[in-house]
Amino acid sequence: MVEAEYPSIQLEDLLGRPLNNIESKFRPKTIFCKGPMEIPLPCPRVSIIGSRGASEKGLSEAREISKILIENEVVIVSGLAKGIDTVGHKTAIEYGGRTIAVIGTPLNKVYPKENTELQEELMKNHLVVSQYPIGHSTTPKDFVLRNRTMALISDATVIVEAGESSGSLHQGWETLRIGRPLFICKDVVENSQLEWPEKMIQYGAMILDEPTDILENLPTSIKMPELFQ
């Protein structure tokens, strides 16, 4: 692979604005991109995340949430993992929306392998980003740091379905840490076997009853000065 095929960029350039102190503290040093989506990234952007081994109900809910967001011109962000992530990306493609994959490997690698075709589609028509350079040896920690970067890129995050040990919880806490809206689907909150939803709610996470509730907590792409021209 030629280095120029995967240009590097700073997070502030990707977002199109300066970073605050908290964002600067946790940002990746460099981000590598592949895909035709414009930079700075279009706004708003919402992460749809959850269990790799999601239930049929969880997958259906991820699809419905993604569809409604797409109909309202929201960019779907996810991590290209099995389960909820894959549904988010594929729903965006199916309904003519836009989607960004934030991956835990270098751009010339694919994980999981069964999403090779999906990653190629996103690189061709959407956007795939990674904080890892070509030649980097992937470790489990890389996916945790990827979740942090995905929270930074997104204007809000939705946890559709996740167990007590799900990697999605890392992104949930990072979302709260940087002060972005975090939504947890109502069915998950009402699951008495899970302790993490209540803990996150105590720190500001919101219960998601209707997908349209997300829209009320998203920024618009209109810049304030334009309102007075």
Say how far apart CA 11 and CA 209 lie, in whole Å: 32
Does 37 reside within a domain? yes
| pLDDT value of residue 48 | 98
Distance, in Å, from the CA atom of 46 to the CA atom of 208, rounded to the nearest integer, reads: 14
> Does the global pTM surpass 0.85?
yes
pLDDT tens-place string over residues 122-167: 999 999 999 999 999 999 999 999 999 999 999 999 999 999 999 9
Percentage of the chain modeled with pLDDT above 90 = 91
Split into its structural domains, the chain has a count of: 1
Is 5 contained in some domain? no
Q: Give pLDDT tens digits for 57-100.
A: 999 999 999 999 999 999 999 999 999 999 999 999 999 999 99
Per the domain annotation, does 70 fall within a domain? Answer: yes
Q: What is the mean pLDDT of residues 15-31?
A: 93
Question: Is 227 within the bounds of a domain?
Answer: no
- Within a domain: residue 1? no
Would the pLDDT of 3 be above 60? no
**Which CATH number goes with the domain that contains 203?**
3.40.50.450
Residue 29's domain comprises 19-214
